[in-house]
Structure 1
Amino acid sequence: KKRMSEITDQKELKKSLGKLKSLVKFPETGAVLNEKRIEILKKLAGKFLIVTNTDLPENEIVTAYREQWQIECSFRTIKSFLEIRPVYHRKPERIMAHVFVCVLSLLLSRIIEKRSGVTISEASRQLSYLKVTP
């Protein structure tokens, strides 16, 4: 593999830069750093733009955005561990009931995790050893 400093062909250099190619200008004489673009990106570094259609206060929107990973994790839990899919219901009220039970299960699993200090999969594994007799 060649180092960047060893690449002389412009096409090869553009390809190897990938997403960073906007930081380099390619005049006839060779490659030159795009200082203007670099300065713009420095000013934007660490910032993000949120566009929304709600009337919520800015701080609530930013908080929700920052907690997005927790929401995504919850949906992964619903889909995998709680097995929300496949849904074979046809009637809208049955689909809603199914999803409601799954979300309720998610809430219960989060409560178990918080109170016990173990993940829901570990708690489930531990509970599987219990035998219930009438």
Structure 2
Amino acid sequence: MKELENLVKINQLKREPPDAKEFAGMLRAGDTKLKDALIDGLSEDSQFSLSYGAAHAFSLAALRWHGYRSDSRYLVFQCLQHSLGLDKAKWRVLDKCHNVRNLAEYEGHLDVNPQLLKELISITKEIQTLVKALEPIE
């Protein structure tokens, strides 16, 4: 993956062999968060936080499957076009969600747009499906 290797060269990604247990743990975490995000009656704030966490867990699992690691949530989402072939427009929605999450986390301001939440949940389900379709790590 030329694009991911270019990120290694500029110290944005690190090469690290995939680990089957770590991968499985990330999938479990993503599954749990996404399942919880869909609980009826949950506030939009909680749904957003859980869906965002699930999207990140699945996205990081995809990156780890390819043998890379990043400390940057933004970059994990940006790499989805290479790690899973996700359309640019979709990872850009995740980027917008990342910005909303940062405002909530660091400035205490969470204003969840219902349409953005709907898109986040839809994209997270798509990422979940794509990651689960990857070959098992040996």
Q: What is the TM-score with the length of structure 2 in the denominator?
A: 0.25
More helix by share: 2
| Higher relative contact order, chain-length normalized (CA < 8 Å, sep 6+) | 2
Q: What is the TM-score with the length of structure 1 in the denominator?
A: 0.25
